[in-house]
Amino acid sequence: LSGSFSLQAPSEDAIFGRQNVSTWFDDLDFYEALRRALFELETAVMPDRKPSTWIAVNCNAVFSPHTDAGVGKGQSLSLIVGLGDYSGGELVVEGSASDIRYKPLEFDGWRQRHWTLPFHGDRFTLV
């Protein structure tokens, strides 16, 4: 199983955060609970960081060298953390590999080339 989806930060007008969620979630109450939990996790992990407007959830995704497209939805820096039972899968940013498994890393995804090293197991990333 592999794939990705994005969640918009919870707010009363965040209806766009529900786009295409029916392919991942039958239960919208579960979706809302997950969305709130992930944004609360970001605040707990990086309390001094400006809160993100979106979080991408990746399951077993492998990315080739790239820079992110777009304007970052108001963010200037990306924050990534790896979760799951896996080995390998370091994130390489401009040629420097970092172990992100339960270790958050901030980097400029719009300016710095980054990619995923091979891994074994189930690897989730929150970006």
User: Residue 25 burial (CB < 10 Å; 0-12/13-18/19+)?
Assistant: middle
Answer for the pair 85, 78: CB distance below 8 angstroms, yes or no. Answer: no
From first to last of its 127 residues, the chain has per-residue pLDDT tens of: 899 988 888 774 544 444 555 556 677 788 889 999 999 999 999 999 988 988 999 999 999 999 988 655 666 789 999 999 999 999 999 999 999 999 999 999 999 999 999 999 999 999 9
From the CB of residue 76, how many other CB atoms can be counted at a distance below 10 Å? 12
